[in-house]
């Protein structure tokens, strides 16, 4: 899809937005990064959803995106510690578990 879009719009005008319903958001983000897309939407603790797609989960978690980009050597300027705190705060406030795999692993590692 990105390759077709690139025939009609410059890559600087494109952004990626994925939900993680089937656990494919990071793989999809990796693919669009390889096509040159550098603007990525994400959501702290994976909050959000899609009212149009029954059963859809939240947006890809910012914590997971930042962890992946860091592992790829891509500078984001995002403070992971602050991000983890924000995700934990809003998840506690909403009474729900964070859906970020990276946040879950990093917080367990720090606690244990």
Catalytic annotation, residues: 50
Contact 61, 99 (CB under 8 A): yes
Q: For residues 58 and 47, what is the distance between their CA atoms, to the nearest angstrom?
A: 5
Q: For residues 112 and 97, what is the distance between their CA atoms, to the nearest angstrom?
A: 18
């Amino acid at each position: 899809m990105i390759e077709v879009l690139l025939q009609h719009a410059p890559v600087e005008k494109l952004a990626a937005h994925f939900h993680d319903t089937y656990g494919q958001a990071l793989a999809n983000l990796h693919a669009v990064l390889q096509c040159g897309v550098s603007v990525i939407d994400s959501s702290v603790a994976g909050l959000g959803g899609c009212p149009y797609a029954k059963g859809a989960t939240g947006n890809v978690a910012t914590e997971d995106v930042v962890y992946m980009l860091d592992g790829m050597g891509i500078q984001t300027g995002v403070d992971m510690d602050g991000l983890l705190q924000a995700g934990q705060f809003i998840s506690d406030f909403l009474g729900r578990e964070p859906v970020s795999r990276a946040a879950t692993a990093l917080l367990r590692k720090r606690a244990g």
